[in-house]
Amino acid sequence: MRILLIGYGKMGRTIERLALAKGHQIVAALSVEDASTLASYTKDQVDVAIEFTSPDAAVSNIMTCLEKGIPVVCGTTGWLQHLPQVTATCQQHNGALFYASNFSVGVNLFFHFNEYVAQKMQQYPEYGVQVKEIHHVHKLDQPSGTALTIAEGILKNYPDKQGWVNDKTTSPDILGIESEREGEVVGTHVVQYTSPNDTFELHHIAHSREGFAAGALLAAEWLPGKQGIFGMTDLLQL
């Protein structure tokens, strides 16, 4: 498979190493300085693009790939306010986009169990619920995209909550998401249910970026030949 890497940071380099080990070809690995060359690649040269850049660059990169007919796997978070525009472009060009806030198989099972637990815990109002995420100091968006996906799964099952705030809160109408940036932490996410009598937690700790990179590569192997917008629930059949 011929892969175009858009973004050549730690994640891009890890994906490159795993892809080459599986016998795939890296057509190019575009850093920030190379972004202007993206439009020169075509679907005849590239089977799939994998995009890990920054929130301010992701939308343009995705749109260029879709317009060129190149399926794109995107792991950049913090741009979903532009999803309607991206969706329209994907439909217009019969394109394929695979987006995930987190490509780890373990995290996506976490998402699945998070919704199940929220559905059950909502029946016990004595338990307050909070989300906490910890990442490395280089992470640009806050809360993390993973934390927002977790929050969506909780809010879906708590109709009385009006939304979330990026802080601790004691308000029963708001879900608090506490964000910390610490050293080189890969990613830790906690959902905590607390009552006057006890505390119940769902906890996920990422030990390395390998799990994210392996999941993104799985998505890239799965996406070519499809049309539409997909995510890990499609890949994992959750």
pLDDT in tens, 59-78: 999 999 999 999 999 999 88
pLDDT higher than 80, residue 207? yes
The pLDDT of residue 209 is 82
Please state, for a pLDDT cut of 90, what percent of the chain lies above it.
85
Q: How much is the pTM?
A: 0.77
Residue 220's identity, in one-letter code, is A
Please, where in the chain does CATH 3.30.360.10 lie?
105-206
> Catalytic one among 10, 82, 112, 139?
139
C-alpha separations of 222 from 21, 98, 195, 229 in Å: 17, 10, 43, 13
DSSP annotation of 23 reads T
Mean pLDDT calculated for residue range 47-67: 95
In one-letter notation, the amino acid at residue 48 is V
Task: Tell me the per-residue pLDDT of 75-126, one tens digit each, with 9 for 90 and over.
Answer: 998 899 999 999 999 999 999 999 998 898 899 999 999 999 999 999 999 9
* CATH of 2-99+210-236 given 3.40.50.720, 3.30.300.30, 3.90.1150.10, 3.40.50.10810: 3.40.50.720
Query: Which pLDDT score, from 0 to 100, does residue 36 have?
Result: 86
Q: Is 138 flagged in the annotation as binding? A: no
Span(s) in the chain for CATH 3.40.50.720: 2-99+210-236
Active site residue 22: no
Q: Which of 24, 68, 132, 135 is catalytic?
A: 135
**CATH match for 105-206 among 3.30.360.10, 3.10.150.10, 3.30.930.10, 3.30.1490.20:** 3.30.360.10
Supply the pLDDT for residue 231. Answer: 95
- Give the pLDDT band (50/70/90) at residue 153: very high
**pLDDT at residue number 238:** 81
Coil, strand or helix at 48: strand
Distance between terminal CA atoms of the chain?
26
Residue 100, annotated ligand binder? yes
Complete edge-to-edge strand list for the sheet that includes strand 199-206: 163-165, 174-181, 128-135, 187-194, 199-206
Confirm whether residue 24 is marked as ligand binding: no
CA dist 238 and 235 (Å) reads 8
Whether the predicted pLDDT of 35 surpasses 90 = no
The chain-wide mean pLDDT, for the chain, equals 94
Is 135 in the active site? yes
